[in-house]
Structure 1
């Protein structure tokens, strides 16, 4: 069991997640290619919803 997300997700992982999130958001906004469920699953998988706006 992971007690702290920080023990599992490194700072580099957070940067990668932020980059992917921005790419997903741009694709969805511009081309409507990303299904909402796919985006939501990605966000929940990496707990991005808990991140502050400044982190993204």
Structure 2
């Protein structure tokens, strides 16, 4: 984030939050989109782990 201009960093942060909450792919360009591409797989993995954990907790008596 330090390598980005403040406006780019803000746009990236909002895009990451929107994607993690709603699954919306952002319309970023340049460095912010590259950074998003690095973060997206981690958000996806964490989301899958969360769903699996919730399903396990529901199945417990």
Note whether the superposition's TM-score is higher than 0.5: no
TM-score band by shorter chain is: 0.3 to 0.5
Larger radius of gyration: 2
TM-score normalised by L of structure 1: 0.42
Larger RCO: Structure 1 or Structure 2 (Cα < 8 Å, ≥ 6 residues apart)?
A: 1
